[in-house]
Structure 1
Amino acid sequence: MAEPGVEQSPEPASRRRLLTVGGAALAALALMVGLDRVADYAARRWAVAQVAASAETAAALRVAVLRSEIDKQRSLPVVLAQDPEVRGALEAPDPARLDALDQRLDALAEQARTGVIYLIDAEGHTVAASNFRTPESFLGSDYGFRPYFRIALADGRAEHFAFGTVSRKPGLYLAQRVEAQGRVLGVLVLKAEFDGLEAEWRRFAEPTFVTDERHIVLIASEPAFRFRTTVPLDPVERDAIRESLQFGDSPLTRLDLGPSPEEGGVLRLRLPGRSTAQDFVAVDMPVPSTSWTLTVLAPTAATTRLATTAARASAALAGVVGLGSAGVWWTRRRRRVRALAREAEARRALEARVVERTAELSAANAQLVTEMEERRRARLAFDALQDELVQASKLAVLGQIAAGVAHEVNQPVAAIRTFAENSRAFLDRGEPAAAAANLDTIAALTERIGAITGELRAFARKSAARIEPVALAPVIDGALLLMRYRLLQTDIALALDIDRPDVAVTGDRMRLEQVLVNLIQNAAEAIGTRRDGEIRIRVETRPDTVVVTVADNGPGLPEEMLGALFLPFTTTKPQGLGLGLVISKDIIAECGGTLKVENDGGAVFTVTLPRAQGLDNGAGRA
């Protein structure tokens, strides 16, 4: 204790205050650094997850496009192998007939947008080819050593991806055996090239490539990826592949693709022409009807940089606000203690100090108001930053909705192809009127495709539907027109029962047709290859509503799926996205109706729509 009358030195108190302030500063610095590290880690994990989700959507869409391209090319060799002109060229290969067949194959290759179509006799020599005019003509070439030729002769058909020995271009060779009265005449081969598809992939930021079951890259947006491997090949297997000339003289080296220091399964790859390696999230997806796998490499740098910047800024803002609040509390508490001490020591001079104390409190209040205003501005900046993050997330979700394009457009494209083939048959038989009718139908289906894609854009914008009286029978006829080829192909019977052909409902014609196509498509997929498959469509007219039921005799829906079937991304299909029924239910709701599902032998979907009162006859005539 200090002796009476001796003033205590201010140095110890100043030292304590310095230590207190220093400790508080170190604690604040440690808190800010910790918040920054946590925000950076969480943002990186979130960014990788968002990139992976977007890449899965992109991969699903590109798989659908690739499968559509392959399926389109597969049917042409099957049809041509049955053509009398093709068989005649092999049975009696006179020059005039072969020249005419060359001309025809050239026209078919141009119309089908395929690489080359050529005909090989039973000895392996090419007798007709669509590229007969080019320097790389296949005419006279011996392809008896090619695996697709030998397999097609033995099994009837073959598919083989290889590097062209004459054209020096890679492609998928689709071979079909040509027979006449049980006698093997030769093999018809179509070479599908994917230059256009690779060029389309190069427009996107995500490198994309397709590998076979041996992990060899066949198709790639980056030409330098082609015929390289994603895993090391056994030296013996690599030498055998090179000796077979399947991929020419390619070295079959491995892509420089390895793990990145980033967490969350991120890979690092050096792209051709780049001085530094980049980080990617790899999404693999099998290509149906093939043994291929499609891989999308989604770059993470931009998304990670944006997410970490926003998260670290938010964490810094939260830390500043928290430390500011603690500082205000600590300052007020310290001032209050000092004020009480001064009042105890100067009680006799209370009146004289009231004015001084009031001034101090006024200054403190003004300072507090200033600090609160600063906190309010900081909060507004924080909210604005959060809104930007929400908008970025919304854009990612809109990318997922675009994946439904392939599903909705597939049936009109198939129908167009069928009518086109029928038109050629009518023209060959000299029936131009029937061919013209088919061409009118093709034009209508083309408009339908445009309406479907426009409908998806409208769905993304959440634009209002055009609700008006609509004749129901033409809507059903349009849906069955799109699905008739699929039902005939799978031998599924159709039972249609409409109690009033002229009944009209309130809704949008294109959207209602889209719903019926989706329900019929789901029913056909549920039936699968069942021989006695049947789809029943019934229309029942009631005083205020019209009830449409679409039922099948498939296995029905699992009980655990009935309650969640109309939730986004819920599906029973291995390759489904779970968006079709969600969109269908929204369309029916916009028309003022309901969509329900139950099991009754098979799946039964019930659509209830408002009836257009007093307009049935007029709508039916329209």
Structure 2
Amino acid sequence: MRALILPRRWRHWLILLVPLGFALVIWQATLVARDQALQTLTDEAKNELRLSAAGLVGHLSRHDYLPELLASRDSIQAYLAEPKAHDPMPINLMLDRFRATADVSDIYLLDRFANTLVASNWHMPNTFIGQNYHFRSYYQDAIAGGQGRFHGLGVQSLERGYYFSAPVRLDDGDERPDGVMVIKVLLDEVEQSWAGQSTELLVTDQDEIIFMASRPELRMTALHPLSDRERDALLATRRYADEPLSFSGIAAFGAYGARSLLVSFNHGPLADQEYLLLTRELPEFGWNMHILKPLLPVHRAQWQAGLLAGGFYGVALFAVGFGWQRLRLRREREQFAERERRTLARSRDELERNVERRTRDLLDSNRRLSAEIEERRRAEANLRQTRDELVQAAKLAVLGQLAAGINHELNQPLAAIRAYAENARTFLARQRVDSADANLEQIVELTARMAEISAQLKQFSRKSGDTLTPVSVIACFDYALRLYQARLNQANVVIERDCPNGALWVRADLIRLEQILVNLIGNALQAMADTPSPKLSLSVERHGSDVRIGVADNGPGIAEEHLNRVFDPFFTTKSPGKGLGLGLSISTRIVDDLGGRLEAANRPQGGAIFIIILPGDASPARLSAAQESHHA
């Protein structure tokens, strides 16, 4: 029994080693958890930074062709040759049309002395006309014969923008250009796309000035404190007008890998957290793009690992103590029952063999159960992946149908363009310039029509927002019918409308409501594929505080046994290859998210009807001008 009792000096060592081991286990666990969490966070940040950088480069680079294209136009060159002999208003209007079509901020023309002659904002109080921009590098680069690139604040508008410029030459043999064409692109649209992310994005120039950021408070600040000489030099260039360019407050307190820092902010809106900072070069513009990922997941992983390791350590310590106590008790029982020791030993051996056999059985059962659980998890993961792929396939199928219809609409303008182009070549060969110009004008009108048609498919693929606004049901009907115009004409579908004289408005999301109507109308057209005289009925009425929107057809209707299942995922009565059975399921989920419901029924006169019930809105005047222009 004495052999099982620790000497006093070993007890002192044990009391010292137990808490020391506890601290060591927790420390090692938190270190491992920190490294793993940082690595995961770094991988996520690299992917997000790569995608954001590609988006920024693509947004800016798509406009670099426009200055050179405008500089080659005859009307621009004719006006630049004799500004006083021409009316500037047609040029101003033309530049404004190009500005709206290319979705840029401003377009303006400088003479060889950097004076602004015409501009797309001729009608604005802060128009560029009459201003001299000889101090801008985009003018200096272009007047020297190259392509100009520049970023900074506008002198008149004080808006941040990126500038593209190209020289305008009236004579190919003249070495010095006669003017400069300039395009300005605003950066707000890119920053707005960053605002919805859970990370912070920054863009710095060669002077380490943050001129783009997902946080407005960080814009026009310096990544590092500026000296008086550096600040004076930046103010002299007028790149950032008279902005103070104060210090952003960022401070590094550690490093993790290449081009990665652990940082915090001394002041400002980000001062209450620590971040992982990654940097990516944008060599096309001479910039650096940075991403800030909060370290909260890392701290949370450290706490969880520490608590888990401490719990395991406590369990292990308890198991050792419990085993030691059992050993002592067993030895004491052996001393009191020495005469029966052998009998008890045989019984104990038999019991241990039974326990071992039972343990093996339990281990085998546990292994089989674990394998079954793992197999079930894999099956559920495969099921979720398959379901997501089918949902995506359903969306792509709708887009494919719309694209097929729009492609049909584009064939006729394309054939006409080819004919006009061949005629223009013939007229040019015969020196009939007026006739060739008339054919080219027809080609321009046809390309405008094709752009209008393709814009419908672009509009359908855009993303919706989370904010609910007043939405006109009549306008949504018009949009959905435009997408299916080709199929409606081809099938000779009669459209019947039952709508009040005044517009009815619902509280919804414009894009999602349009997608629901597109799906319901597409299902109706498929249901009437074999109907001799197809008729599509669209209705809208106010019912109390709600608005009921109906889409009905005169097809065969829905079988009674299928009425309760039409909204189930993957349920379809179509032949294989014609549908996935996800359209109505997705639609009813969207309506639920909008605070309404979607119902299906058969009409007494034949055919099916789907009714969308949404909350009405009595304040259509609050509808933004962006929605009105969207339906124009």
Q: TM-score range, shorter-chain basis?
A: 0.5 to 0.7
Residue 443 and residue 73 in structure 1: after superposition, are their counterparts in 2 closer, same or farther (change >3 A)?
closer
Is 1:32–2:22 an aligned residue pair? yes
Query: Do the aligned partners of 2:79 and 2:86 also contact (CA within 8 Å) in 1?
Result: no
Is 1:84–2:80 an aligned residue pair? no
Residue from 242, 245, 250 that aligns with 2:243: 250
Secondary structure at the aligned position of 2:167 is classed as strand
Aligned partners of 1:333, 1:423: CA distance in 2, in Å? 97
For residue 232 of structure 2, what is the aligned residue in structure 1?
239
Residue 13 and residue 119 in structure 1: after superposition, are their counterparts in 2 closer, same or farther (change >3 A)?
same
Aligned partners of 1:247, 1:448: CA distance in 2, in Å? 39
Query: Do the aligned partners of 1:87 and 1:185 also contact (CA within 8 Å) in 2?
Result: no
Residue from 92, 95, 114 that aligns with 1:105: 95
Cα shift at 1:57: 0.6
Query: Do the aligned partners of 1:423 and 1:438 also contact (CA within 8 Å) in 2?
Result: no
Query: Do the aligned partners of 2:222 and 2:245 also contact (CA within 8 Å) in 1?
Result: yes
| Amino acid in structure 1 at the alignment position of 2:65 | S
Residue from 142, 153, 160 that aligns with 1:152: 142
Residue 323 and residue 442 in structure 1: after superposition, are their counterparts in 2 closer, same or farther (change >3 A)?
same
For residue 223 of structure 2, what is the aligned residue in structure 1?
230
For residue 178 of structure 1, what is the aligned residue in structure 2?
168
Aligned partners of 1:238, 1:442: CA distance in 2, in Å? 49
Aligned partners of 1:336, 1:171: CA distance in 2, in Å? 84
Q: Deviations over 1:518-565 (max 9, x none)?
A: xxxxxxxxxxxxxxxxxxxxxxxxxxxxxxxxxxxxxxxxxxxxxxxx
- The 5-angstrom pairing of residues 111-150 of structure 1 reads 111-150=101-140
Greater CA deviation, 289-298 or 40-49? 40-49
| Amino acid in structure 2 at the alignment position of 1:154 | A
Aligned partners of 1:140, 1:45: CA distance in 2, in Å? 60
For residue 273 of structure 1, what is the aligned residue in structure 2?
269
| Amino acid in structure 1 at the alignment position of 2:298 | T
Aligned partners of 1:119, 1:432: CA distance in 2, in Å? 24
Cα shift at 1:68: 0.5
Aligned partners of 1:350, 1:49: CA distance in 2, in Å? 59
| Amino acid in structure 1 at the alignment position of 2:115 | H
Residue 42 and residue 262 in structure 1: after superposition, are their counterparts in 2 closer, same or farther (change >3 A)?
farther
Secondary structure at the aligned position of 2:83 is classed as coil
For residue 316 of structure 2, what is the aligned residue in structure 1?
322
Aligned partners of 2:344, 2:251: CA distance in 1, in Å? 75
For residue 431 of structure 1, what is the aligned residue in structure 2?
443
Q: Deviations over 1:105-151 (max 9, x none)?
A: 11221222211111111222211111112111111112233232122
Query: Do the aligned partners of 1:119 and 1:129 also contact (CA within 8 Å) in 2?
Result: yes
Query: Do the aligned partners of 2:137 and 2:149 also contact (CA within 8 Å) in 1?
Result: no
Secondary structure at the aligned position of 1:128 is classed as strand
Q: Deviations over 1:26-58 (max 9, x none)?
A: 543332222111111221222222111111111
Aligned partners of 2:235, 2:212: CA distance in 1, in Å? 18
For residue 196 of structure 1, what is the aligned residue in structure 2?
189
Cα shift at 1:19: 7.9
Query: Do the aligned partners of 1:211 and 1:294 also contact (CA within 8 Å) in 2?
Result: yes
Aligned partners of 1:102, 1:83: CA distance in 2, in Å? 14
Q: Deviations over 1:363-388 (max 9, x none)?
A: xx9xx99xx99xx9xxx9xx99xx9x
Greater CA deviation, 312-321 or 19-28? 19-28
Secondary structure at the aligned position of 2:222 is classed as coil
Aligned partners of 1:108, 1:218: CA distance in 2, in Å? 27
Residue 257 and residue 440 in structure 1: after superposition, are their counterparts in 2 closer, same or farther (change >3 A)?
closer
Residue 200 and residue 121 in structure 1: after superposition, are their counterparts in 2 closer, same or farther (change >3 A)?
same
Aligned partners of 1:262, 1:216: CA distance in 2, in Å? 22
Secondary structure at the aligned position of 1:339 is classed as helix
Residue from 183, 206, 212 that aligns with 1:213: 206
For residue 169 of structure 1, what is the aligned residue in structure 2?
159
Aligned partners of 1:252, 1:131: CA distance in 2, in Å? 29
Aligned partners of 2:4, 2:335: CA distance in 1, in Å? 18
Give identity over the alignment, percent: 23
Provide TM-score, normalisation by structure 2: 0.54
Aligned partners of 1:214, 1:125: CA distance in 2, in Å? 28
For residue 289 of structure 1, what is the aligned residue in structure 2?
284
Query: Do the aligned partners of 1:117 and 1:189 also contact (CA within 8 Å) in 2?
Result: yes
Secondary structure at the aligned position of 2:178 is classed as strand
Query: Do the aligned partners of 1:271 and 1:278 also contact (CA within 8 Å) in 2?
Result: no
Query: Do the aligned partners of 1:260 and 1:279 also contact (CA within 8 Å) in 2?
Result: no
- Provide structure 2 residue ranges, at least 5 long, that are not aligned to the other structure: 389-402, 422-438, 463-632
Residue 288 and residue 251 in structure 1: after superposition, are their counterparts in 2 closer, same or farther (change >3 A)?
same
| Amino acid in structure 2 at the alignment position of 1:266 | L
Secondary structure at the aligned position of 1:266 is classed as strand
Aligned partners of 1:205, 1:266: CA distance in 2, in Å? 17
| Amino acid in structure 2 at the alignment position of 1:237 | E
Aligned partners of 2:440, 2:205: CA distance in 1, in Å? 41
Residue from 229, 242, 252 that aligns with 1:259: 252
Residue 284 and residue 319 in structure 1: after superposition, are their counterparts in 2 closer, same or farther (change >3 A)?
same
Q: Deviations over 1:382-407 (max 9, x none)?
A: x99xx9xxx9xx99xx9xxxxxxxxx
Cα shift at 1:230: 2.0
Cα shift at 1:438: 5.4
Aligned partners of 2:59, 2:300: CA distance in 1, in Å? 37
- Work out the number of aligned pairs and report it: 399
Q: Deviations over 1:242-301 (max 9, x none)?
A: 122221112333321112369774111246335x44211111111142211111111112
Is 1:333–2:327 an aligned residue pair? yes
Query: Do the aligned partners of 1:175 and 1:188 also contact (CA within 8 Å) in 2?
Result: yes
| Amino acid in structure 2 at the alignment position of 1:337 | R
Secondary structure at the aligned position of 1:289 is classed as coil
Query: Do the aligned partners of 2:279 and 2:290 also contact (CA within 8 Å) in 1?
Result: yes
| Amino acid in structure 2 at the alignment position of 1:228 | T
Cα shift at 1:80: 0.6
Query: Do the aligned partners of 1:285 and 1:295 also contact (CA within 8 Å) in 2?
Result: yes
Secondary structure at the aligned position of 2:292 is classed as strand
| Amino acid in structure 2 at the alignment position of 1:229 | A
Query: Do the aligned partners of 1:216 and 1:230 also contact (CA within 8 Å) in 2?
Result: yes
Query: Do the aligned partners of 2:4 and 2:328 also contact (CA within 8 Å) in 1?
Result: no
For residue 67 of structure 1, what is the aligned residue in structure 2?
57
Provide TM-score, normalisation by structure 1: 0.54
Aligned partners of 1:429, 1:314: CA distance in 2, in Å? 75
Residue 111 and residue 50 in structure 1: after superposition, are their counterparts in 2 closer, same or farther (change >3 A)?
same
For residue 42 of structure 2, what is the aligned residue in structure 1?
52
Residue 94 and residue 428 in structure 1: after superposition, are their counterparts in 2 closer, same or farther (change >3 A)?
farther
Cα shift at 1:240: 1.8
Query: Do the aligned partners of 2:334 and 2:341 also contact (CA within 8 Å) in 1?
Result: no
Query: Do the aligned partners of 1:125 and 1:142 also contact (CA within 8 Å) in 2?
Result: yes
Secondary structure at the aligned position of 1:107 is classed as helix
Aligned partners of 2:279, 2:25: CA distance in 1, in Å? 35
For residue 312 of structure 1, what is the aligned residue in structure 2?
306
Secondary structure at the aligned position of 2:276 is classed as strand
Aligned partners of 2:225, 2:446: CA distance in 1, in Å? 58
| Amino acid in structure 1 at the alignment position of 2:333 | A
Query: Do the aligned partners of 2:224 and 2:250 also contact (CA within 8 Å) in 1?
Result: no
Query: Do the aligned partners of 2:249 and 2:268 also contact (CA within 8 Å) in 1?
Result: no
For residue 481 of structure 2, what is the aligned residue in structure 1?
none
Residue 350 and residue 304 in structure 1: after superposition, are their counterparts in 2 closer, same or farther (change >3 A)?
closer
